[in-house]
Amino acid sequence: MSDVNKTEADAPAEGDAFEEELQEVEAESAEAEQSAEELNRLLQAARAKADEHYDRLARAHAEMENLKRRHAQELEKAHKYALEKFVKELLGVWDSLELGHAAAQDENADVAKLREGTELTLKMLVDVMGKFGVEQIDPRDQPFDPEYHQAMATVPRDDVPPNTVVDVIQKGYALNGRLVRPALVAVSKAPEEG
């Protein structure tokens, strides 16, 4: 065979090889296109999920800020109006003191009635204070306790044991068990011999 015949015989074989290669490239291109579409679809799904999470985060953040603001407002109101009930209870005592004072201004005032009114007003005050946890510390004839008493003087006495409160100069007060003001007291000591 001549070279011309050989080339003609090879031509269909080369055409087939080219055709196969072309089909392979087209198949790979189709696969790549499908893969790109799949990746694009996955990317869109991931973006949608990320956007959803971002929205949730933004809402949660806004809700937390609202809660902080609301809590701060409630705390401010609690501080501002904490004494409201106490003041309402004390107003009755105040009114009673004003009435007693006005009655005492009269030259013909009955002293017995003024005393009775003062005792009732004092009882009202003690009741109000007790209602809010204020306790009076009146330690007369009790052992001296430096946590609740402040010694202002010592008095030699042989009728009571040493370190006994014999006189209360000023009563002390505690609020719900916590000392507000110690009682100012005079305390006994053993008399000096000699």
Do 145 and 163 lie in one domain? The reply is yes
Domains of the chain: total = 3
Asked whether residue 45 falls in the same domain as residue 102, the answer is no
Q: Which domain holds residue 147?
A: 135-194
- With 90 as the cut, is the pLDDT of residue 13 above it? no
Shared-domain flag, residues 74 and 27: yes
pLDDT of residue 180: 96
Q: What is the pLDDT of residue 78?
A: 87
Average pLDDT of the segment spanning 169-189 = 96
More confident residue, 25 or 112: 112
pLDDT at residue 5 greater than cutoff 70: no
Q: How far apart are CA 99 and CA 93, in angstroms?
A: 10
Residues 19 and 77 in one domain: yes
Domain co-membership, 58 together with 105: no
Domain presence at residue 4: no
Whether residue 116 sits in one domain with residue 146? no
Co-location of 69 and 108 in the same domain: no
Distance from C-alpha of 141 to C-alpha of 164, rounded to nearest angstrom: 6
Cα(100)–Cα(116) distance, integer angstroms:
10
- With a cut of 90, say whether residue 82 has pLDDT above it: no
pLDDT band, residue 11 (cuts 50/70/90): low
Neighbours of 28 (CB within 10 A): 10
| 176 within domain boundaries | yes
In a domain, 177, yes or no: yes
Residue 102: inside a domain:
yes
Write out pLDDT tens, residues 108-154. Answer: 889 999 999 999 999 999 999 999 999 999 999 999 999 999 999 99
CATH number at residue 155: 2.30.22.10
Q: What is the mean pLDDT of residues 34-63?
A: 91
Residues 143 and 126 in one domain: no
Q: How sure is the predictor about 28, in pLDDT bands with cuts at 50, 70 and 90?
A: confident
* pLDDT score for 135: 95
- Whether 111 and 127 share a structural domain: yes
